[in-house]
């Protein structure tokens, strides 16, 4: 066999990915419906083919990935996705688009954005399936880097190397207030007017820093009276009179799930907007199905009535 021959199989890669996700031969065997020795043998052969150790075997306490294992995991996932796309293309030579997309979405964006995008896309591409993840920014960016996500819909917050971000929509922040608040009838509110009020913080990494930093222009930052990582809980706390909050994705309803109401107010100050856009791993050429979906998302988001 010459030095350029491939010495591993897609089956071995599949075993590697599932075992890396579970960090247990036993759990991987259950998920794959095969015997544990079969997985162990296949991975030992894969390590020999690669010439690197992928896992550290811990006596009675499972597995952990080595650094080479972590480095190769994303490549293995991408190879499996490309193999799946090739198989589907061979079955559908009539030009039909099919496949699976791993879509991530910022947790605060997911309820008002993700269902509509997926619904409209599958109307014309019914053979495409989705695996969705709602998370905060670090979760999404890590997922893009390690190959568990193909694409993410998120904000332009702390985008780092290895991520290609396409900004699509500028979203200035706004305040939400209880409908009985003293400023509820004002056309706009000032950051200074809110500084001494109880603050209900959307407690997500990056988002909390972004919203708090808006107050640097008036000299100090607010202290959170209440916190939640769930946007609907934040809106509910505000509507029930516990304080004000700051959000930036436009809402079509100012009523919460418990039937209470809040009001939305723009700021008097020229506050910094963030951008909503599409994030992709810059080191990986997207599959055709991902490119098609990315183009659809770009058109859909740019047409939002903001």
Q: Count how many domains the chain has.
A: 3
206 lies in the same domain as 161:
no
Beta strands in 6-110 (DSSP E): 55-57, 63-65, 99-106
**CB of 271 within 8 A of CB of 174?**
no
* Residue 293 and residue 156 share a domain: yes
Q: What value does the mean pLDDT of the chain take?
A: 89
Instruction: Quickly state the pLDDT bin for 304 (edges 50, 70, 90).
Output: confident
Of 6-10, 63-67, 166-170, 254-258, the one with minimum mean pLDDT is 6-10
The pLDDT score that the predictor gives to residue 94 is 40
Task: Please tell me whether residues 31 and 99 are part of one structural domain.
Answer: no
In a domain? residue 4: no
Nearest residue to 102 (alpha-carbon basis) of 124, 133, 136, 76: 133
Q: Of 186, 170, 199, 180, nearest to 265 (Cα)?
A: 186
Same domain flag for 187 and 140: no
CA distances from 68 to 39, 47, 141, 185, 306 (A): 19, 10, 20, 60, 46
Shared domain for 57 and 138, answered yes or no, is no
In this predicted structure, the answer to whether residue 306 has a pLDDT above a threshold of 80 is no
Check residue 95 and give its pLDDT. 46
Looking at residue 249, its pLDDT comes to 85
pLDDT at 72: 92
- On whether both 205 and 184 belong to a single domain, the answer is yes
User: Quick one: which of 43, 45, 50, 51 has its CA closest to 20?
Assistant: 43
Same domain, 18 and 64: yes
What is the pTM assigned to this prediction? 0.67
Mean pLDDT of 2-14: 78
Give yes or no for residue 22 having a pLDDT over 50. yes
Joined together, the tokens standing for residue 227 give 């916190």
Tell me the CATH number at 161. Answer: 3.40.190.10
Say if residue 166 is in the same domain as residue 281.
yes
| pLDDT surpassing 50 at residue 34 | yes
Structural domain range at position 184: 173-272
165 and 280 in a single domain? The answer is: yes
pLDDT at 124: 85
Using DSSP's 3-state secondary structure scheme, residue 27 falls into helix
- Our measurement of the distance from residue 92's CA atom to the centroid of its chain's CA atoms, rounded to an integer in Å, reads 30
φ, ψ (nearest 5 deg) of residue 267: -90, 150
Domain containing 47 — which CATH number? 1.10.10.10
Kindly report, residue by residue over 39-79, the tens digit of the pLDDT. Answer: 999 999 999 999 999 999 887 778 999 999 999 999 999 88
* 57, 104: one domain: no
pLDDT of the residue at 62: 83
Domain match, 247 and 128 both:
no
Residue 253 within any structural domain of the chain: yes
pLDDT at 84: 82
């Amino acid at each position: 066999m010459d030095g350029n021959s491939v010495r591993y199989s897609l089956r071995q890669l599949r075993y590697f990915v599932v075992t890396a996700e579970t960090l247990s031969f036993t759990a991987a065997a259950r998920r794959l419906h095969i015997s544990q020795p079969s997985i162990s043998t296949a991975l030992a052969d894969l390590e020999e083919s690669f010439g690197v150790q992928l896992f550290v075997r811990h006596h009675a306490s499972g597995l952990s990935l080595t650094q080479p294992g972590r480095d190769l995991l994303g490549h293995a996932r991408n190879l499996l996705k490309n193999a799946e796309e090739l198989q589907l293309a061979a079955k559908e030579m009539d030009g039909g688009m099919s496949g699976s997309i791993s879509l991530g979405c910022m947790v605060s964006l997911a309820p008002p954005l993700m269902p509509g995008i997926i619904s409209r896309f599958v109307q014309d591409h019914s053979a495409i399936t989705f695996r969705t993840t709602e998370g905060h920014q670090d979760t999404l960016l890590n997922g893009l880097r390690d190959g568990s996500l193909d694409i993410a819909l998120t904000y332009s917050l702390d985008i780092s190397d290895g991520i290609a971000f396409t900004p699509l929509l500028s979203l200035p922040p706004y305040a939400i207030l209880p409908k009985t608040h003293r400023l509820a009838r004002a056309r706009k509110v000032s950051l200074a007017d809110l500084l001494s009020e109880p603050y209900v913080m959307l407690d997500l990494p990056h988002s909390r820093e972004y919203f708090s930093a808006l107050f640097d222009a008036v000299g100090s930052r607010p202290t959170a009276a209440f916190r939640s990582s769930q946007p609907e809980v934040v809106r509910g706390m505000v509507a029930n009179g516990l304080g004000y909050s700051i959000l930036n994705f436009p809402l079509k309803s100012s009523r919460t799930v418990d039937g209470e109401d809040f009001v939305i107010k723009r700021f008097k100050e020229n506050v910094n907007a963030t951008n909503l856009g599409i994030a992709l791993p810059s080191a990986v050429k997207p599959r055709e199905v991902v490119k098609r979906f990315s183009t659809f998302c770009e058109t859909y988001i740019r047409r939002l009535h903001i």
